[in-house]
Chain A
Amino acid sequence: MSSYVQVLGALPDLAKGLWVTLELTVLSAVTSFIVGHLIWWLRGRATPFWRGLGHLYVSLMRGVPSIVQLFIVFFSLPLIGLGGKPLLAAVLAIGLNSAAYVAEILRANYRSLPHGQSEASYALGLSAFQLWWYVSSPQVLRNSLPALVNEFTLVVKTTPLASVVAVTELTYAGQLVIARTFEATPVLMVVVAGYLLVCWPTLKLARGLERRFNRARSH
């Protein structure tokens, strides 16, 4: 029983790890949202070069394992004088990877908008930015919401990767406790519970939004 007391004593460490996981998730998700918009914009350019660049970005992010991407970012950062920052490397790697998927989500929903809208906006004399800000963006974001929430849970599930560059998020915190107490089963149970605690409500939210949107569309 003493082993369980040891694990109980490690709970604050695990809670701290869960907090770092949440920080990592939010920072990565924000990065992903911003860069995702940029890539979406690139892929809509008329110039084949920029469009191709956007396409290449998505293809590379989709085709290379996240753990390889993380190591590439981790070993590239020192080249621009940002060495020894594992959290930054993790946020960039996870965020830039997810950005490709966010860009695809936004693009798919943008393409489902009726073409007449942009024609009407030009006829009304709206600039390209005004068209995006007042007309397209609100609809695209609203329609993308279920898929974006789903993408958020995928980001949560990618964060354990940060443990391989020694960011003390939930998984790595768990490993440290296991190394100290030699109690793998109870510690891993707590770690699993931590992830389910974050993922289940978000997954439920995504499903609820999807159902609501489908209902709205069928009326």
Chain B
Amino acid sequence: MDWSAIVDNAPDLAVGLGLTLRLALVSACAALAFGAVLAWALQKGQPWLQGTVRAYIDFILGLPMLVLIYLLFFILPEYGITLSSPVVGVTALTLYYGPYMGELLRAAFAGIPRGQYEASAALGLRPFQALRHVLLKQALPVVLPPSVGLLIGLIKDTALLSVVGVEEFMYAAKQAISTSYAPLEIYLVVAIAYWLITLLLDSAAGCIERRLNRHRIA
């Protein structure tokens, strides 16, 4: 085992990890927004819109992430759309995770009793006020635990972007391996880094969850 390969390549790996985290953050926010739009369209949209959204969701559910990445990377340039690879990566992650996020939001809001909506309207709350003061507070504790699972999945899927040359963590690892040829050592360190991120997210989510539920009697 040649651990000096890790020390020599540590700065490059750190830069890659930084890009991974930024990619994940931007994609997660975009996927949340996209998911909210999809959930809204399924609930309130015209029949044709609902049909389109449903077809899109079925399409994504049956598609491997890697194939979606290839689709965007190969097909967009054929139509003259040339975006930088991190942008295409964020687009792929957003398109892929939007439907999953949308389903979580839809289920959470569907779980709020009908009377809450009616009471908000009766109190004269505008839709945005009702959302902010009444609905979101009830939806958030429901949405949070499964969306942390999605976020972890999203972070892991950023690693797939390395196959199309996005210079994130996994890509930095491959570069480091090509100069040092110590694949096992470097991949083990990369694995531990991803694992630590997951553990950190899980415990942070646990804290937030307890805080959101603090008004409930255990």
Contacts and interface: CB of A to CB of B under 8 A. Distances in A.
Given A63-B152, A200-B62, A185 B78 contact: yes
Contacts of A68: 159, 170, 187, 190-191, 194
Most chain B beta-carbon contacts within 10 A, residue among A63, A66, A72, A79: A63
* Most chain B C-beta atoms within 10 Å of own C-beta, residue among A64, A72, A76, A153: A64
Contacts of B75: 184-185, 188
Contacts of A66: 156
Which bucket holds chain B's interface residue count? Answer: 35 or more
Contacts of A71: 183, 187
Contacts of A199: 61-63
Contact of B198 (A62, A191, A192): A62
Q: Label chain A's interface by main secondary structure.
A: helix
Contacts of B49: none
A67 B160 contact: yes
B15 interface: no
Q: How large is the interface on A (under 10, 10 to 19, 20 to 34, 35 or more residues)?
A: 35 or more
B74 A188 contact: yes
Interface string B61-76: 1111111001100110
B14 interface: no
A192 B67 contact: yes
B162 A192 contact: no
B199 A157 contact: no
A195 B66 contact: no
Given A60-B195, A67-B160, A185 B63 contact: no
A5 to B, nearest CB: 18
Contacts of B188: 72
A65 B194 CA distance: 7
Nearest to B192: A64
A67 B184 contact: no
B72 to A, nearest CB: 10
A184 B195 contact: no
A69 to B, nearest CB: 7
Contacts of A196: 59, 62-63
Contacts of B190: 68
B174 to A, nearest CB: 9
B195 A75 contact: no
A117 interface: no
Contact of B183 (A59, A75, A163): A75
Contacts of B71: 188, 192
Contacts of B63: 157, 192, 195-196, 199
Given A72-B188, A184-B78, A67 B62 contact: no
A32 interface: no
Contacts of A157: 63-65
B163 interface: yes
Interface string B82-121: 0000000000000000000000000000000000000000
**Which 8 interchain pairs have the tightest Cβ spacing?**
A63-B198, A199-B62, A184-B74, A65-B159, A65-B156, A63-B195, A160-B66, A157-B64
21 contacts: A60-B195, A63-B195, A63-B198, A63-B199, A64-B195, A65-B158, A65-B170, A67-B159, A67-B163, A68-B170, A68-B194, A72-B184, A79-B184, A158-B64, A171-B64, A171-B67, A185-B74, A188-B70, A188-B71, A191-B70, A192-B71
Interface of B: 58-59, 61-67, 70-71, 74-75, 78, 152, 155-160, 162-163, 170, 183-184, 187-188, 190-191, 194-199
Given A68-B170, A171-B64, A188-B70, 17 more contacts: A60-B195, A63-B196, A63-B197, A67-B170, A69-B191, A72-B184, A76-B184, A153-B62, A160-B66, A171-B70, A185-B74, A191-B70, A192-B63, A195-B64, A195-B67, A199-B61, A200-B58
